[in-house]
Structure 1
Amino acid sequence: MHRLKFPLLLPAVCLLGAGLLGACAGTPNRERTGYEPSAMIQPQRVTEHRGSDDLLTAGLGLDGLRAMAPPAFADAANPDAAELRRRAIWSNWRGIADLSPTGGYGTVYGSVVAVPGREYSALATVPGAKQPHRVLVQVPDDFDQKRRCVVVAPASGSRGVYGAIAVAGPWALPKGCAVAYTDKGAGSDYVDLDAGIGVRLDGTPGRIGEATDLAFVPEIPAGATGVAFKHAHSQDNPEADWGRHVKQAAEFALSALGQAFPQSAPFTFDNTRVIAVGISNGGGAVLRAAELEGDWLDAVVAGEPNVFVEGHGGRPLYDFGTEAALLMPCALLHLPADALPQPPLRAQVEPLWKLRCATLQAGGLIEGADSIAQARSAYERMRATGWTDEALQAGALSVGFDLWRSVAVTYASAYGRHGIGAHPCGFAFAAQNPDFSPRSATAAERGTWWSDAAGIPPGNGVGILDAKLAPPDFTLAGAQCLRDLYTGKGEPANGVRAGIAATRASMPRAGLPVLVVHGTDDGLVPPVFTSAPYVAAAREAGRTQVGYWQVRNGEHFDAFLALPAYGARYAPMLPYMYAALDRVSAHLDGQGALPADAVIQARGRGAGAVDAAQLPMP
């Protein structure tokens, strides 16, 4: 039976007898099988957010979050901490949720109600790591001390510490739950190597060697120039520690709650409910947390998780991502034009896709005498390795935005634990001129990195420097080098594969409720390579409390549903994340069974606005 988590209800419940419950939360000297609490991380910064500056939207409300222009800085070169926080919240909401007027957010699903409270933040380091990860806890003033609840939300993708605010905050904060965030060792703590400036705990710039609270201080070789960032250059392979990042964030939440409500302390895993929720990389992180020993975690909701298990068709992101970087531009030409949502500048990119077909054929990677035959060959190769038509169609967006190369460049560095200037394929990062040559960043550009960046260049004035860039197919040589780090031989490839092996997921703790939610049309993290193999492995291992919701017409990026072609055909995933949290929470309260497996017939909005009928709930 699941342990009781609401200690102020104990006197009546315990009268039922220890024989029925086994033990009651808060009982002195309770034995916790397999769990040893580590030293709590103490808050290093505390801020209050009330009135025109709340926890959920920083006072922006739905209209402010929808604004196309970000909240302005009074001095673009020297933003203060409050301005940076507001802009980071604006940026991370817009990077995750569909906030378009016809998207339904705040009317059909979701909430942007103002929630006053406090934020507690710190830099935490998992044992053995070189660099810290950010942890931040939002504690609403209406925190329910009788039903103590923490929702732990690791950032999506490689985003900063607010990178899951749209996932967890709207569900948890209005209910009186605290939310604990972590950037899980990635994030937007960029370092300007030319200026010797990094990012302090409060988000403001700080000079290396002077500021004592920098979130990332890399090893900087003599003469290094450009930009460094934590995911690529920490030399920690942060993905291998995702689960530990999540657990440390939960521990930090307990410490912060003890400081927020000293009269009700201590807050412990015995007397506080902990639910972990995340999407994309955050979804992978909460599944990695689920496998950790000890009875510290009560439930997990993992959306479109980037998770790797061996067997059952499982493939790591680096494998299918580097394959897509090479083949997908050509393979998409085989699909009917009306089968694809239109990526940006479709008419301009198709000639580049045909060029990729020709260069792949010249290199012996595909067959065919013309672009039609070559596209068919590339398509058939991808289908043979497990790609579905749905994933290929939605993957057009990742091709259009050059996401596959961006991800592969960063992850190769992380998996191989390569420092600044040591990328095995010669990639680096810097501000760029219009001709893509490197230059020094301006103070105004540097001032927006922490708040605006998604944690992986290109973007926000930082681009990828490709030492192998050459005509006619400019990015092909670099993409082939990245692919060879997975399929080839030699020390660099061995190092990358070892780093990937360290990210393999194990099964969740027996009895832990886990609900996996994934769109069937996900083109960045296809479920056939991730969620489906994980669920199959869990069932094979006897983990009967692992459920799986498959959302028809769900793809990876709710934020891109604001593009008419995407919103017309794809359904948002966030409504199903909130529904999953509702169902799991009700189960923990004894108000229902675990959610059953479901294939949910969701659909896009077509030419109109989202309505509830398009989003059926299981």
Structure 2
Amino acid sequence: MKTLLQCTLIGAVTLTATACNESKSPFNKLPDFVQGDIYSTQYDGVTNDLLTGGLGASGLGSATVPAFDDPINPTPEELRTLAIYNNYRALVDTVPGGGYGNFFGPQVGSGGEGLIPGEEHLAYMTVKGSNVPVTVMVQVPDSFDPKQACMVTAPSSGSRGIYGAIGTAGEWGLKKGCAVVYTDKGTGTGSHNLATNAAQRIDGTLTQADEPVQFRANLDDQARADFDAAWPDRFAYKHAHSRVNPEADWGQHVLQSIEFGFYVLNEKFGQETGNGRRVVKVKPKNTLVIASSVSNGGGASVRAAEQDDRGLIDGVAVSEPNVNPQVDTSFTIRQGNGSALAGHSRSLLDYTTALAVYQGCANIAPEVRDVAPLNATFNNFTIAENICNSLANKGLVAGATTDDRASDALRILEEEVGIQPEQNLLAPVHFGLAVAQSISMTYANAYGEAGVEDRLCGISLAATGAGGAVTPLSAAQEAALFSASNGIPPSAGVNLVYDGAEGQPTNLAVSASPSTSQQDYGLDALLCLRSLAVGTDVVTGTALSGDAAELSERIDGGIEQVRATGNLRGKPTVFVTGRADAILPINHTSRPYFGLNQRVEGNRSKLRYYEILNAHHLDVLNGFPGIADRYVPLHHYFFQALDLVWANLADKQALPPSQVVRTVPRGDIATPLSTANLTPIAVNPDVGDRIVFSNDQVQIPD
């Protein structure tokens, strides 16, 4: 009997999930949740590697996109390289002067191009009660030392695929010599072409055959054909249309990825017995395990720490985590001398649907119209005015003029939804990128466990052409979806389509609502999503009824499934979050989670919360003039968070107190970022900078 290591020493091979292991404790055993084959590859660190896909630091930093020899039939290796390139650059600012190559990047601390040799093991897994495949991957760098074993979790950010955290937790862990365990969290690209039945294998290549794929919609051939006849050229996506609520299991996905990581490590380093078995040598008790990642991946690692009843995780270091804390009205949040906020801990779908409805109008408020960077570049002000008019005609904003209505939309977001003023400068760019709109559609479907055939609120997914009309996605675009899509359209040529638009199904961004006959970004559809999120018709104020009420109740139940408990089981934990985060508002994520944790763990809490001024959610935007001037990379502080947790666990160094970190913007994109801009997290912060929980309140300095 061959072991996994013996099966995979040279090149990429396939083995069955049971072929290389039939052992029992204390012997290494493949976890039951691993389904099908394990795909393994050895990378030499010269022609290809774990971190950069063979591109090296200069290739990742280059604006020249890796090309396929045959654009219609890319190889798995080509798809992997492009996926690493796109996922790295989607989260990290690689523009010269922004810190890449000086404060972070493959070459920093490594020298040369930063290529890292090692093994990569890829598989599908499932969680109890679901047969939807979840991708899991383990990277073991050649520098891994089993006598000083360490592991870092890297669940993907956003809805990204398996390489979604390669440039964040992946880079830090690999350069540290740790095994890195990844999961797509049941999201990932996972697109299904309903016209052709094409879907992606685990390596990203397309197939129409009946074989294991990342995702296919739960439709038989006749149902799929009927759907395609009525709604041609549509796509189903894994996160939105798998008919499960993947976020409810994100914590389990991370815990299972750790278990798979230990299996891989013991196949490589476990003691051989001579009969094909290996005795487990690398164990949780002798391995330092840090749960990490950013955004959705950070939230997944936090949930894993909460659910870790076997002691798999030693510490947590996350950036801008997407956490939906359980609502605890026994405490408030106050920034400086401002008003105490009692309405914190709104769900992701609540505040995101509010942004989807109101931000398009708020973009042209006098307070932000001309001062928000790239506002006019990313947004059509004529459509914005139409949105304001439509909202006013429905009684959802007040004011006699467009300026008045836009200002009222901005007021609603700040005062009624709890959006920080610091978010206003970046919110217009995010609206132009359809962030809130895409999240609203995807998560409403996921929380409600809806299928693609349900077309929630009349929204479907397809490529669009002239005038926003639906068109087939080009063969070259579809072939690259694994590498180019972020898993949540609009992305890589697939857009949000409003099937109920006036005239014909139209790209949501340029669609006219039937109730208004105006191009108002399909406001009717966005109001429908908002109504499902809050449980009432937001226009009439009446309760939903019939199918809408039932769906809203399912969505509400799905939201409750993802609520975080605040109990980190005493694990040393660091959150770093940018105050200007315009995607995951801090009054509903990191701040209330800190308060909830203080309520739950009290003096036993080892959570530290560092709120970074002049930092936001998507560092990649820092490569643009007007944004680079104002903001510093949060990525730098994420790496500091990992360093601090490592020092605490390995060297018993105390974690600095929770604090506001006062960074210094560089003022001009032409001025390179320096240490003067990146104020360090202070070991002993001034009293006026400390974040504390006192008198039933999270108190945040201005």
What TM-score do you get using the length of structure 1 for normalisation?
Answer: 0.91
Is the Cα contact below 8 Å between 2:38 and 2:122 reproduced in 1? Answer: yes
User: Are residue 567 (structure 1) and residue 568 (structure 2) matched?
Assistant: no
**Offset, 1:38:** 6.2
SS at match of 1:548: strand
AA paired with 2:168? V
Separation in structure 1 between the aligned mates of residue 218 and residue 422 of structure 2, nearest angstrom: 43
Which SS does the other structure have where 1:214 is aligned? coil
Determine if the alignment matches structure 1 residue 592 to structure 2 residue 653: yes
CA distance in 2, matches of 1:492, 1:318: 14
Contact 2:57–2:105 at 8 Å: present in 1 too?
no
Match of 1:270 among 285, 290, 297: 285
1:475 alignment partner in structure 2: 522
8 Å contact 1:189–1:198 — kept in the other structure? yes
Segment drifting more, 255-264 vs 221-230: 255-264
**Matches of 1:251 and 1:105, distance apart in 2:** 33
Task: List per-residue Cα deviations over 1:358-377 (Å, max 9, x = no partner).
Answer: 11111000111101211222
Distance in 1 (alpha carbons) for counterparts of 2:624 and 2:264: 40
Q: CA deviation at 1:165?
A: 0.7
1:101 alignment counterpart: 96
Of residues 131-140 and 462-471 in structure 1, the stretch that sits farther from structure 2 once superposed is 462-471
Instruction: Give the alignment partner of residue 222 of structure 1, picking from 208, 221, 224.
Output: 224
CA distance in 1, matches of 2:636, 2:62: 22
Quote the offset at 1:67 in angstroms: 2.4
Q: How far did 1:296 drift?
A: 1.4
**Which whole-Å CA distance do the structure 1 matches of 2:425 and 2:553 have between them?**
33
Alignment of 1:13-92 (within 5 A): 39=32, 41=34, 44-50=38-44, 51-92=46-87
Structure 2 counterpart of 1:342, one-letter code: L
Aligned partners of 1:108 and 1:610 also within 8 Å: no
Query: Where in structure 2 are the equivalents of 1:8-407 lying within 5 Å?
Result: 39=32, 41=34, 44-50=38-44, 51-112=46-107, 113-209=114-210, 211=211, 213-220=212-219, 221-223=223-225, 224-225=227-228, 226-263=234-271, 265-292=280-307, 293-309=309-325, 310-311=327-328, 312=332, 313-332=344-363, 333-337=365-369, 339-343=371-375, 345=377, 349-385=380-416, 386-407=418-439
* 1:461–1:331 CA distance, 2 compared to 1 (3 A): closer
Q: Paired residue for 1:606? A: 667
Look up the match of 1:427.
459
**Whole-angstrom distance in 1 between the partners of 2:651 and 2:33:** 30
Partner AA of 2:613 in structure 1: R
Map 1:411-560 to 2 at 5 A: 411-469=443-501, 470=512, 471-472=517-518, 473-487=520-534, 488=536, 489=544, 490-541=549-600, 542=602, 543-560=604-621
* TM superposition shift of 1:439: 2.8
Shift of 1:39: 4.2
Distance change >3 Å, CA 154–CA 344, structure 1 → 2: farther
Give the counterpart letter for 1:480 in structure 2: L
- The alpha-carbon deviation at position 86 of structure 1 amounts to 0.5
> In the alignment, residue 545 of structure 1 is paired with which amino acid?
K
RMSD: 2.0
Whichever residue aligns with residue 131 of structure 1, its letter is: V
Which letter does structure 2 place at the counterpart of 1:120? H
Cα distance, 1:286–1:203 mapped onto 2, change above 3 Å: same
**Kindly tell me: are residues 108 and 509 of structure 1, through their superposed partners in 2, closer, same or farther at Cα, counting changes over 3 Å?**
closer
Between 1 and 2, higher relative CO (CA 8 Å, sep ≥ 6) is seen in 1
User: Is 1:199–1:216's contact at 8 Å kept on the other side of the alignment?
Assistant: yes
Cα-to-partner distance string for 1:403-427 (whole Å, 9 max, x where unaligned):
1111111111111111121133121
Counterpart residue number, 2:507: none
- AA aligned to 2:482 is W
Query: How far apart, in 1, do the equivalents of 2:596 and 2:96 lie?
Result: 41
Over residues 72-102 of structure 1, what are the superposed CA-to-partner deviations in whole Å (9 max), with x where a residue is unaligned? 1111111111101101000100111000011
Q: State the shift of 1:294 in Å.
A: 2.6
Once residues 252 and 344 of structure 1 are traced to their aligned partners in structure 2, the CA distance between those partners, rounded to angstroms, is 48
Question: Secondary structure, in 3 states, of the residue corresponding to 2:381?
Answer: helix
8 Å CA contact 2:258, 2:312 repeated in 1: no
What is the one-letter code of the residue matched to 2:637?
Answer: Y
Structure 2 distance, partners of 1:509, 1:61, is 37
Work out the percentage of aligned pairs sharing the same amino acid. 36
Q: Shift of the alpha carbon at 1:159?
A: 0.4
Is the partner of 1:71 in helix, strand or coil?
coil
Q: 2:191 touches 2:216 (CA, 8 Å); kept in 1?
A: no
Cα distance change of structure 1 residues 568 and 141 upon mapping to structure 2, 3 Å threshold: same
Equivalent AA in structure 1 for residue 679 of structure 2: P
What is the rounded CA distance, in whole Å, between the counterparts of 1:553 and 1:435 in structure 2? 38
Aligned partners of 1:584 and 1:595 also within 8 Å: no
Shift of 1:584: 0.4
Could you tell which deviates more after superposition, 79-88 or 584-593?
584-593
Aligned-partner Cα distance in 2 for 1:377–1:483: 18
Amino acid paired to 1:328 = Q
Once the 2 structures are TM-superposed, how far is the Cα of residue 337 of structure 1 from its aligned partner? 4.1
**What's the CA shift for 1:168?**
1.3
Alpha-carbon separation, structure 1, partners of 2:270 and 2:213: 29
Q: What are the ranges of 5 or more consecutive residues in structure 1 without an aligned counterpart?
A: 1-28, 31-36
1:185 and 1:231 in contact (8 A); partners too:
yes
User: Gaps (5+ residues) in structure 2?
Assistant: 1-24, 108-113, 229-233, 272-278, 333-343, 502-511, 537-543, 682-702
- Quick one: distance in 2 between partners of 1:362 and 1:570? 38
- SS for the counterpart of 1:566 is coil
Contact 1:328 1:392 in 2 (8 A): no
What's the CA shift string for 1:507-526, capped at 9, x where partnerless? 23321111111001101111
- 1:22 matched to which residue of 2? none
How big is the shift at 1:40? 6.7
Map of 1:14 onto structure 2 = none
Whether the 8 Å CA contact 2:40–2:122 is kept in 1: the answer is yes
3-state SS of paired residue (2:67): coil
Would the aligned equivalents of 1:232 and 1:410 in 2 still touch at CA under 8 Å? Answer: yes
Q: Deviations over 1:475-499 (max 9, x none)?
A: 1111101101112221121121111
Deviation by residue 1:367-404 (Cα, 9 ceiling, x = unmatched): 11101211222122222221121112221211121211
